[in-house]
Structure 1
Amino acid sequence: MDELRGDWQPTCSLESLRSRARMLQKIRQFFAHRSVLEVETPLLGAAIGTDPQLDFFTTEYHWSPTQQTLFLQTSPEFAMKRLLAAGCGSIYQICKAFRNGESGRFHNPEFTLLEWYRVGYNLSQLMDEVDGLIAELFDGIQALQPAQRVSYQTLFQKYTGLNPLVFSYEDYCGYAQSSGLADAITLCGYDHVLWLDFIFSHSIQPHLGHNALCMVYGYPACLSSLARINGHNVLVTDRVELFINGVELGNGYYELSDVKEQERRFDKEIAIRQDTQRPAVIKDKRLLAALDAGLPDCSGIAIGLDRILMLLSNSSAIDDVLAFSISRA
C-alpha cells in the first residue's frame, strides 16, 4: 500500500469541487429561466461519430447468447438530435464524454460537456445566448471585456496573409517556411484540412479572446461535417468556435438537416479513416433515420465545462479542476 499512499487523494482542491457545483447550478438556472428542457441520453451507443480526428473507447456488451461492441460517446449530439426530431423542443444536457488518446494540460479522456440545441435559432441567435451564459458564469468572479465576433477568414488573413477558403500548396508552404513552421510541410502534405488546423492552432488561436469571449464564425466548408453550408457562400459553413485567452471552449453549428448530405459526409469521413488506418466506426443509422423523419431548424453547441472551470479558477491544468484525473481514476 505504500506506493499508493496519498495517491487516493483528489487531484483538485475541495474549493474547486464547490466551484464546480456553483457553476452547474448557474447553468441549470440559466436554462430553466429560458424553458429549455434538461435531458439525458446514453453514454453507451451502438454507433459513434465518424470524425477522422477523434479516437474512441469500446466495450463488449454480453447478453447471452449475444455479444455486441458498444462505443462510449465522444458527444451526446446524435442522441440529442433524435430527441429533437421526435419533437421535444429546445434541450440541453450536462454529461460525461469520452475521447481516447487525449491527455494533457487541457485534455482528459473523460470530461464534462454542456451541449444544447435551440429550435428556431440561427447561428447568430445562438451566439447571443452563448454570450449571455458566459457572462452569467463569470459574473462576480472575473470581469470579462465585451464579447468579440470575428470571421475565420478575417483572422486567417490578418495573422497569416493566406486565404483559408481556397487552398494553395505553394502559398501555404511559403508561409510555413517563413514562419518557423516548416514541419507542417511534411505533416500536412496536400491536405487542406490538416494545414488549416495546424496553422490556426499555432499562429492564430493564441491571440484569441484576451480576457474576453471570442466567437469565431464562418469556418471553411471543409472543416465541418455536421453544419450547414452558408446560404450566401458555398465555401463557408455555419459554424462557430469559442475562445477565451487562447483556450478553445466550444464548437457550435447551424445544424445540418439534409439526410442525404449528412450520409455523404459520413461516408467521406469513413473513407478517410480507412485510408489513414484509423479504427473502424459504425455509422449512426438511427441518426440518419431521425434526419429523414425531419430535424427542425435549430442551432446547437457543445462547451467543455472543465476548461470553463480552469478559467474561472485561474488553473493552469485540467487536473486542478477534476476530482480524479485519469492518473488517479
Structure 2
Amino acid sequence: MARHKPAAIVCRLPIGSRATVAGRVVNIDGGRVRLVDGSGALTLSLGHVSPGAPALGQLVQATGVWDGTALVVETRRDGVAPLDSFPKAEGDYAHFTADGGRRVANLHRRAAVLGAIRVYFDQRGFLEVETPLMVRSPGTEVHIEAFSVDGGRDRRFLITSPEMHMKRLLGAGLSKIYQISRAFRRDEAGGHHQPEFTMLEWYRGFADASAVMEDTENLVAAVAEEVRGEATVQVAGRNVSVAPPWHRLRVDEALLEYAGLTLSEVLPDEERFFHAWVEKVEPALGRDRATFVTHWPASMASLARLLPDDPTSADRFEAYVGGIELCNGFGELVDAREQRGRIEAEVALREAEGLPAYPIDERFLGALEEGLPDSGGNALGVDRLVMMVCGEDRVSEVMAFPADRV
C-alpha cells in the first residue's frame, strides 16, 4: 500500500483525491467506521469491500477516494483485533486519548519545545554534546540522592546531572556546549518532580553568570513564541510573561519582601531558611513576570564561585516562573583547590548525616587542575518548561511515561 497520510490532512483534501490512512477503529456504524490516528479522526465508508467490518479497537490501513465526508475504501489491510474489550479503563489508549487527546497534543508540543531549544543553541554556535548516563561518581551534594547500578565490574551510578562531564569538555577546549539529557534522582516526587526527568544544561567558556542569564531569558521567550505564538506561559491557569528582560531580585531582598525576615535572622540555620523560602517566598516569585533570584549565601554556593566584590555571596542564580523554580545557574567555580575542599566537606557532611557515600570524581578535579576558563552554566528543567508551555499543573502530564505508568 502507499504511504499513509495523517487523517487531519486527508479531511482537507479536494474531493476525488486518493489517499491512504492508518489508525484505530473507535466507532462502527453499519458500513461506516470512525478511524483515529495521532492527528485526528475521519470516517471510512466500507461499502462492499472485503473483508467485512473490522473490530472495535482494531488497527486498520485503508486506501480509497475522499468524497468530502468520508474516505470511500477500495482496499484495506487489518491488524490483529484486540483480545479483550476496548478500550481498557487503565490502558494506554484510554490514558493518552482522554480529554480529547490532551496528552497526545502535549507530546507534540514537547517535541516542538525540544526542537526550538536546539534551533536556539545551534544558531548561536553551540555544540550539542552527549555525556555518560552511568558514571563512577554522581556528585556529593547532601540534598541529592542517586540511583546505583549493579552488574558491572565496578560500582556505577545514574547521573543526577551531566554537569561534571560537561565541565571536563570545557577544559578540553569546547567553550560553547549544550546537552538535553535524561537525569535521575531518588526520592523525587510531587507535581513538579519525577525520579527520571529531562534536563537542559549549557555552558559558556570565558563568560559569567550574567551571560547565561541573558541566554536563559532569550531561550525561554523564543521557545514560548515558537510553540504558543507569544512570549508567555501558563502556570496554575495564570499567564506569566517570559519576555526579556526578566525581573531581578537578590535573595536577601526576596526574603525580606515576602517573608519579613533578614538573612541574619535565619542563617546559619539553613533548615529555617528553606522552610521560609519554600512556604512564603517561592510561591510569590515570578507570578506575573519571570524573575531571576541572585546573590545566594556563600554557604549555598555548591559548584558556583563566590562573587569577587562580595565573598559572602555566590555567583549563583535561580529563575522562577509563576512561583516555580525553572533553572539553577552559576558563574562556575574553576579553582581546583577550593572545589576539592568543598567536595570533601560535602563528603564529611554526608557521612555525619548517615547518607550513602559517593566517590569523589577525581577526573573532574583533574580537569580543574589542568585549568578551566571562567565560565557560566545553567541547568534548566525541560519537563517544567514544557508543563508551562502546555498550561499543565503537573510534569507527569507532559511526559510519555511518568514513573507511575512505567
TM range (shorter): 0.7 to 0.9
Q: Which has the higher contact order (CA 8 A, sep 6+)?
A: 1
Residue 56 of structure 1 pairs with residue 149 of structure 2: no
Which of the numbers 331, 340, 343 marks the counterpart of 1:254? 331
1:294 to 368, 371, 381: 371
Q: Alignment partner for residue 103 of structure 1, among 181, 189, 212?
A: 189
Say which structure is richer in helix: 1
2:103 corresponding residue in structure 1:
13
Task: Tell me the equivalent position of 2:282.
Answer: 205
Is the CA contact (8 Å cut-off) linking 1:252 and 1:302 kept in structure 2? yes
Report SS of the residue matched to 1:13: helix
Tell me, yes or no, if the aligned pair for 1:47 and 1:71 is still in contact at 8 Å.
Answer: yes
Structure 2 counterpart of 1:117, one-letter code:
Y
Partner of 1:219: 296
Q: How many residues align?
A: 302
Tell me the equivalent position of 2:218. Answer: 132
Kindly provide the amino acid, as one letter, of the partner of residue 212 in structure 1.
R
Name the amino acid aligned to 1:138.
A
Name the CA distance, whole Å, in 2 between partners of 1:276 and 1:307.
31
Question: Residue 28 of structure 1 aligns with which residue?
Answer: 118
Taking the aligned partners of 2:199 and 2:257, their CA distance within structure 1 comes to: 32
- For 2:270 and 2:279, how far apart are their aligned partners in 1? 14
Matched, 1:148 2:238: no
Structure 1 match to 2:355: 278
Q: Say which of 169, 175, 182 aligns to 1:83.
A: 169
How many Å apart are 1:159 and its aligned residue? 2.1
Greater Cα offset, 279-288 or 192-201: 192-201
Q: What is the CA–CA distance in structure 1 between the aligned matches of 2:258 and 2:300, rounded to whole Å?
A: 19
Give the TM-score taking structure 2 as reference length: 0.71
Query: Offset at 1:232?
Result: 1.1
The answer to whether the 8 A contact 2:258-2:284 is kept is no
- What are the Cα deviations for residues 278-329 of structure 1, in whole angstroms up to 9, with x where unaligned? 1111111110000000011110000001001111111011110010010111
Distance 1:324 1:191 in 2: 41
Structure 1: give runs of 5+ residues left out of the alignment: 173-189
The one-letter code matched in structure 1 to 2:115 is Q
Cα distance in 1 for partners of 2:220, 2:251 equals 21
Alignment check: 8 A CA contact 1:96 1:112 kept: yes
CA distance in 2, matches of 1:19, 1:160: 37
Q: State how 1:177-188 maps to structure 2 within 5 Å.
A: none
Comparing 203-212 with 77-86, which one deviates more in the overlay?
203-212
Shift of the alpha carbon at 1:5? 5.9
Amino acid of the residue matched to residue 39 of structure 1? Answer: V
Deviation digits for residues 118-160 of structure 1, max 9, x if unmatched? 1122211211111110110111155316421111111112223
Residues 318, 329 of structure 2: 8 Å contact kept: yes
Report SS of the residue matched to 2:125. coil
In structure 2, C-alpha distance between the alignment counterparts of 1:287 and 1:87, rounded to whole Å:
15
Q: Any idea what SS the aligned residue of 1:129 has? A: helix
Q: Which has the larger share of strand?
A: 2
CA displacement, residues 207-255 of structure 1 (integer Å, 9 cap, x when unaligned): 0111321111110111121000111111100000011000111000000
Amino acid paired to 2:325: E
Alignment-derived partner of residue 28 in structure 2: none
Moved over 6 A (4+): none
Report sequence identity in percent.
36
